[in-house]
Amino acid sequence: MRKKVIAGNWKMYKTQAEASEFLLNFLHTLEDTPEDREIILCVPFTDLGILSKSLHGSRVQLGAQNVHWEEQGAYTGEISGPMLTEIGVRYAIVGHSERRQYFNETDETVNLRLIAAQRYGLTPILCVGESKQQRDAGETESLIISQLAKGLEDVDQNNVIIAYEPIWAIGTGDTCEAIEANRVIGLIRSQLTNPDVTIQYGGSVKPNNIDEIMAQPEIDGALVGGASLEPSSFARIVNYK
Ligand SMILES: O=C[C@H](O)COP(=O)(O)O
């Protein structure tokens, strides 16, 4: 059975004080959350230490927003797998469109990061998705197939999550129709050797659309940006019906 996974991606938001305040208002909302779902918070590097302590014993797992492919070295601004696992991090987002767009991340570096994440005991969350221009040009399917083929080369599909994030839906309020997200995620699944990989949808997921998204048969979870920053909205998403 495929795991349901709701992950918050805080991007470059929240100081340690703000992160602690979030938890104060969030953790108690999980008392009645069904056991069938996993909850992850992918937070800025500076928040990982304090959250690792505060989340100990809770059902929320910790994720980073990137991971380098080397164990250590002269890579200013990067972080390695062992540095993350040492403090209790279990997941790492890899290949988010903001990394691809602003930091020159390519399918090749994404692939290296995925392999390294697994090597050092992390479960990577691989992000794929098309821009508006690519969608309008009818390139959605070919782009995603190519991102998957290159990104997943030599990657163990028993330890990976995939997030379909159409770039035009990220942070815009312009959610991809649930039925269309389901279709693309079905296409993603058809490209995998392991049909049980958890595949999330991401892009303007909000309290008012999460139920419809999670009702789709191919969609196993959500990668949530803006709506994960506020305890009550993230709680509503995690407690989807
Ligand atoms: O990683 C999360 C996605 O980029 C979605 O962000 P958003 O929910 O703010 O649209």
DSSP state letters, 103-152: S---HHHHHHHHHHHHHTT-EEEEEE---HHHHHTT-HHHHHHHHHHHHT
Q: Is 203 in the pocket of ligand 1 (CB under 6 A)?
A: yes
The percent of the chain in helix, strand and coil, each rounded to the nearest 5, is 40, 15, 40
By the 8 A CB rule, do 76 and 57 touch? no
By the 8 A CB rule, do 5 and 38 touch? yes
Active-site pick, 68, 96, 130, 218? 96
Q: Is 226 in the pocket of ligand 1 (CB under 6 A)?
A: yes
Catalytic site includes residue 28? no
Number of domains in the chain: 1
Question: Nearest CA to 240 among 25, 216, 78?
Answer: 216
Q: Is 8 in the pocket of ligand 1 (CB under 6 A)?
A: no
Predicted local distance difference test score (pLDDT) of residue 66: 98
By the 8 A CB rule, do 44 and 75 touch? no
Cα atoms found within 13 Å of the Cα of residue 17, Cβ hemisphere only: 0
Question: Which residue has the CA at smallest separation from atom 3 of ligand 1?
Answer: 225
pLDDT tens for each residue of 71-120: 999 999 999 999 999 999 999 999 999 999 999 999 999 999 999 999 99
CA distance linking residue 80 with residue 117, whole number of Å: 8
Ligand 1 centroid vs 201 CA: distance in angstroms? Answer: 10
Q: Is 49 annotated as a binding residue?
A: no
Mean pLDDT for the chain overall = 97
Predicted local distance difference test score (pLDDT) of residue 175: 84
CA distance linking residue 37 with residue 221, whole number of Å: 9
The ligand 1 atom at the shortest distance from the C-alpha of residue 204 is 10
Q: pLDDT over 90 for what percent of the chain?
A: 98
CATH number of the domain that residue 62 is part of:
3.20.20.70
Q: Which residues pair with 37 in a beta bridge?
A: 4
**Residue 203 belongs to domain spanning:** 4-238
Predicted local distance difference test score (pLDDT) of residue 56: 92
By the 8 A CB rule, do 46 and 16 touch? yes
